[in-house]
Amino acid sequence: MKFLRNLLAAILGTLIAFGIAFMFFLIIATIAGSAEQPIIVKDNSILEIAFDQPLKDYGGKYKFTDLDYQFEEYNGVNNVLFAIKNAAEDHKIKGISIHSSFLTTGAATTKSIRDAILEFKESGKFVYAYGDMYMQKDYYLASVADSVFLNPTGTLDFRGLSSEVLFFKELQENSGIKMEVIRHGKYKSAVEPFLSNTMSPENRQQISELLLSVWDTYLEDIGESRSMTKQELNTYADNLATRTPELALENNFVDGLAYMDQYISSIKQQLGLSSDQDLDHINILDYAEYASKILKKKENDRIAIIYAQGEIGYGKGNDNYIGQDIMFKSLKKAREDERIKAIVLRINSPGGMAITSDIIWREIQVTKEIKPVIISMGDLAASGGYYMAVAGDKIFAEPSTITGSIGVFATIPNVSNLAENWGINAEQVNTNKNSTAYSVFEPASEDFKDYMKTGIEDFYQTFLKKVAQGRSMSISEVDAVAQGRVWTGEQALEKGLVDEIGGLDDAIQYAVSSTGISTYSIENYPVYETSIEELLRGLSGFGFAQTKEELLKEELGEEFYKVMQQLKAVGTKKGVQARLPFEITIH
């Protein structure tokens, strides 16, 4: 029996070794074959704007430390905006075709792409848009086009914005698993779903005002492009006046109903092509790679853009979360490079670990003593993301950026009721009075709650002081707009939390003007470091770890998967959190 067990163990070990060797070979083969054919842009081409994958602010530079191999991805918003800007001057690009459905970008990112297309139109080149199904965000982007087309049996959704928040108080009572909550800020409602079964008036107020602010931006831009007033657009939304393709055409939301072949024929006609001639088009992400590799110039004077994207965690950091290590490296490298004259810190984060936010805040302070640091906010720069932002010299935000959320909370899971129901008893042995700070199997004591509250209050006061220092406000002035309250970029400007409304390019231009340079090139950071070992363990965020996620989505469905992720995320948050006060999806 022992011989058989050893034999099976040896066979299993051999199979695992072969599996690892095969994966290693596959990775090496992939890297070796990554030298693709150069992208060619043909004369008389159309730039096709269609996104079949989520866009991050920054595609990223990646380095395998154990292979001395480095590569760059060109699928970031930064690459897309650069590509659209260059397409306006590229004689090979004759126009733009927007064909994007189910956009996953945030409202601020969508506006930045829309604004870039609007600027492209100043070149005199045409912009067309086509959709089988326009969701509201899809239509917001498409409405910038000279002509908008809809499939004759398609749909155009235009009804106003909404958001749904899930509450788990009864679930906790029924399951015996609850979250102990300590917070500061009457608007810090990330924890509200664990305390109540209904939405508080304060939370309803802030979500309502946030939605109205984003909706107002939609109405203003769509109205300008389609020659309609905000009042008209709101009436159409209330009456569902685009519920059929015919109504969408009748009410001036689209310029024509057409099938794809008819749409292509109209573009050919615009280009002066006959029906039997091929239409050459290039996808925006392919053109972004082409523009970045071929059209970008390297000047001696440079502006560094450092991207801080994702939740704020603790440690190394990668393309999915912000860690202090990678931010340290990026800021240090940028400030010590004499060619770099100014730094733009692009923040797209809902916040996260308070201690990491403070560590990065300090490093920004050190950096701006040497070079200007300009802040550009993306879709999110809330709580810990805003904490970092106030260290900069000047803050730019998009109108629909979600920011503010100056507040702090902590959540700790507790299973004492479940343990009692199942007959589980936990006993502690201590050397000192407070040796057992907390046990998930025991109800949280008042001493523990007081201890945690002291830490929460202390960090909230630190947060207020940092904001007051960075924004030249008094503590009481900051507290009046704090309490965990979330603001859009437009609202934040009114409250003095940001300096100007503008996108990444506006922040870059300000950085350039503040240094007095005339010509410059862009240097992007960070460089995300990984290794074959990390890749095999699925820790690097390059793809293996996605298999389980996709499987769970398929088995549970999108909505139940989101609920599971929210519950799991709360359980994994360590320490004091400076984070966006709710999970919000705008529909």
**Catalytic center residues:** 188, 383
Q: Dihedral sign, CA of 100, 103, 105, 110?
A: positive
> Is the Cβ–Cβ distance between 316 and 323 less than 8 Å?
yes
Distance CA 201, CA 383 (A): 21
- From residue 78, alpha-carbon distances to 84, 110, 288, 307, 585 in Å are 10, 12, 9, 10, 23
- From residue 271, alpha-carbon distances to 87, 145, 222 in Å are 16, 16, 26
Say whether the peptide bond before residue 399 is cis (omega within 30 degrees of 0): no
**Backbone dihedral angles phi then psi of residue 149, each to the nearest 5 degrees:** -120, 145
> Is the Cβ–Cβ distance between 288 and 82 less than 8 Å?
yes
Closest to 252 measured CA to CA, from 150, 152, 165, 170: 150
> Is the Cβ–Cβ distance between 497 and 487 less than 8 Å?
yes
Closest to 130 measured CA to CA, from 270, 262, 218: 262
Distance CA 248, CA 257 (A): 9
Which two tokens mark 455?
Answer: 């830490």
Compute how many other C-beta atoms are within 10 angstroms of the C-beta atom of residue 494: 11
> Is the Cβ–Cβ distance between 522 and 85 less than 8 Å?
no
Say if residue 477 is exposed, middle or buried (CB neighbours under 10 Å; 0-12, 13-18, 19+).
Answer: middle
In the chain, the amino acid numbered 117 is I
> Is the Cβ–Cβ distance between 313 and 542 less than 8 Å?
no
Q: Dihedral sign, CA of 106, 347, 208, 203?
A: positive
With residue 571 as reference, give the H or E element that holds it: helix 558-572
Which of the 8 DSSP states describes residue 127? E
Using alpha carbons only, what angle is made at residue 300 by residues 298 and 306, rounded to the nearest 5 degrees?
70
**Backbone dihedral angles phi then psi of residue 370, each to the nearest 5 degrees:** -105, -40
- CA 118 from chain centre, in angstroms, equals 23
DSSP labels, 194-223: GT-SS--HHHHHHHHHHHHHHHHHHHHHHH
Which two tokens mark 302?
Answer: 């440079």
Which two tokens mark 48?
Answer: 């096709």
